[in-house]
Amino acid sequence: MTAATLSTTTGDPRPVPTLRLFAAELRWVLRRPRTLIMFGLFALVPILIAIGVVVADGDGDGNGGRGLIGSIGGNGLVLPIAAMTVSLALLLPLAVAVASADAIAGEASHGTLRGLLLSPVGRLRLVGMKAFGVLVVAAVATLVIAVVGVLAGLVVVGGADGQLVTLSGTTVGFGEALGRVGLVALWTIGQLAAVGAVALAVSSFTEHPLVVLASVLGGLITFGVLSAIPALDWLQPYLLTTGWSSAADALRDPLPLDGMGSSSLVALVYLLVGAAVLITRMSRRDA
Residue 122's pLDDT band (cuts 50, 70, 90)? confident
How large is the angle between the packed helices 174-203 and 91-100, nearest 10 degrees?
A: 40
Residue 10's pLDDT band (cuts 50, 70, 90)? very low
What's the confidence (pLDDT) of residue 116?
A: 67
Q: Is 162 left (phi over 0), alpha (psi -120 to 50) or beta?
A: left
Q: What is the pLDDT of the chain when averaged over all its residues? A: 85
What's the confidence (pLDDT) of residue 235?
A: 92
Q: How far apart are the first and last CA of the chain?
A: 16
pLDDT in tens, 46-65: 999 999 888 877 665 544 44
Residue 78 lies in a domain: yes
Domains: count for the chain = 1
pTM: 0.88
Instruction: With a cut of 50, say whether residue 255 has pLDDT above it.
Output: yes
Instruction: With a cut of 50, say whether residue 11 has pLDDT above it.
Output: no
What's the confidence (pLDDT) of residue 120?
A: 61
Residue 170, burial from CB neighbour count under 10 angstroms (0-12, 13-18, 19+) = exposed
Residue 166 lies in a domain: yes
Could you give the C-alpha distances from 106 to 99, 198, 204, 210, 262, in angstroms and in order? 9, 16, 10, 9, 34
pLDDT in tens, 199-254: 999 999 988 999 999 999 999 999 999 988 989 899 999 999 989 989 999 999 88
Residue 63 lies in a domain: no
Pairing of strands 164-165, 171-172: antiparallel
What's the confidence (pLDDT) of residue 74?
A: 76
Instruction: With a cut of 60, say whether residue 12 has pLDDT above it.
Output: no
Residue 99 lies in a domain: yes
Beta partners for residue 165, in sequence order: 171
Which tops the pLDDT comparison, 99 or 118? 99
What's the confidence (pLDDT) of residue 194?
A: 96
Residue 68's pLDDT band (cuts 50, 70, 90)? confident
- Which one, of 171, 170, 154, lies nearest residue 162 by Cα? 154
What's the confidence (pLDDT) of residue 9?
A: 37
Residue 62 lies in a domain: no
Please compute the mean of the pLDDT values over residues 138-149 and round it to a whole number.
96
Q: Is the peptide bond before 237 cis (omega within 30 degrees of 0)?
A: no
Instruction: With a cut of 70, say whether residue 160 has pLDDT above it.
Output: no
Residue 19 lies in a domain: no
Q: What is the 3-state secondary structure (H, E, C) of the chain?
A: CCHHHHCCCCCCCCCCCHHHHHHHHHHHHHCCHHHHHHHHHHHHHHHHHHHHHHHHHHHCCCCCCCHHHHCCCCCHHHHHHHHHHHHHCCHHHHHHHHHHHHHHHHHHHCCCHHHHHHCCCCHHHHHHHHHHHHHHHHHHHHHHHHHHHHHHHHHHHCCHHHCEECCCCCEECHHHHHHHHHHHHHHHHHHHHHHHHHHHHHHCCCCCHHHHHHHHHHHHHHHHHHHCCHHHHHHHHHCHHHHHHHHHHHHCCCCCCHHHHHHHHHHHHHHHHHHHHHHHHHHHCCC
Instruction: Pick the range with the lowest mean pLDDT from 14-18, 129-133, 230-234, 247-251.
Output: 14-18
Range of the domain at 116: 32-51+68-285
Q: Are 197 and 131 in contact (CB under 8 A)?
A: yes
Instruction: With a cut of 90, say whether residue 284 has pLDDT above it.
Output: no
Residue 4 lies in a domain: no
Instruction: With a cut of 60, say whether residue 8 has pLDDT above it.
Output: no
Residue 274 lies in a domain: yes
